[in-house]
Amino acid sequence: MKALLAFSRLIDTINEYVGRAVYWLVLAAVLVSSVNAAMRYAFNLSSNAWLELQWYLFAAVFLLCAGHTLLHNEHIRIDVLSNRFTRRTQVWIDVFGTLFFLLPMALIIMWLSWPMFVNAYVGNEMSSNAGGLLRWPARLLIPVGFFLLAAQGISELIKRIAFLMGLIPDTVEKRQDPALDVLKDEAAR
């Protein structure tokens, strides 16, 4: 299990670095959007390439940060029922969901999207819009993003099993509203 936990830490580190790097793409998307809007309104100039670049940047943020989101337990959950269960039961639900939903979905999408990327790359596919961009970079984001998500799913599975075996403490971060921390600090004074 030590080797698996080391592998889990490696995956966590990769997704942490990718997530932090991709944060900068949000700034790039905002700048591209702002410059594009300013050029359109100030000089009546517009470009499909700039608009498509915004879409590519948004897709990169969404797809490449999925693993980072899972790492930090910020993904969408429906905890209406599971909050009533013990922590061990909740971890078993996570194991089941990862094995039977997350991993199959991520691996199938990764597998099916790879030929679309290869075809776009080999065929040098271009956007159908005048002045549009190459399509293969956007198509590559899909298998890469789902690979990072599947890898993080494996990492989370390893950590959950290690927790159930009593080898590590619970790694799921319990997030709360930062405003509650401020209220607690003020109440303590």
- What is the residue whose two structure tokens read 């993080």? 152
Burial 82-104 (b: 16+ CB within 10 A, else e): eeeeeeeebbebbbebbeeebbe
Q: Is residue 50 part of a domain?
A: yes
pLDDT in tens, 3-55: 999 999 999 999 999 999 999 999 999 999 999 889 888 988 878 888 899 99
Q: Is residue 185 part of a domain?
A: no
Q: What angle do CA 134, 137, 139 make, to 5 degrees?
A: 100
Number of neighbouring beta carbons within 10 Å of residue 70? 22
Q: What is the pLDDT of residue 187?
A: 62
Q: Does residue 175 surpass a pLDDT of 60?
A: no
Q: What is the pLDDT of residue 84?
A: 85
Dihedral in degrees, nearest 10, Cα atoms 83, 84, 90, 96: -100
pTM: predicted TM-score of the whole model, two decimal places: 0.85
Give 64's contacts (C-beta < 8 A, 6+ positions apart): 18, 19, 22, 141, 144, 145, 148
Q: How confident is the model at residue 179 (pLDDT cuts 50, 70, 90)?
A: very low
Q: What is the pLDDT of residue 68?
A: 95
Q: Does residue 82 surpass a pLDDT of 80?
A: no
Domain residue limits at 54: 2-75+84-173
Three-state DSSP at 126 gives strand
Q: Is residue 188 part of a domain?
A: no
Q: Is residue 96 part of a domain?
A: yes
Residue-by-residue DSSP string for 165-189: TTSS---------HHHHHHHHHHH-
Q: Is residue 178 part of a domain?
A: no
Number of neighbouring beta carbons within 10 Å of residue 32? 17
Instruction: State the greatest distance between any 2 C-alpha atoms of the chain, in Å, as a whole number.
Output: 67
E strands, 21-115, in order: none
**Number of domains, the chain:** 1
Q: Is residue 187 part of a domain?
A: no
Q: What is the pLDDT of residue 116?
A: 96
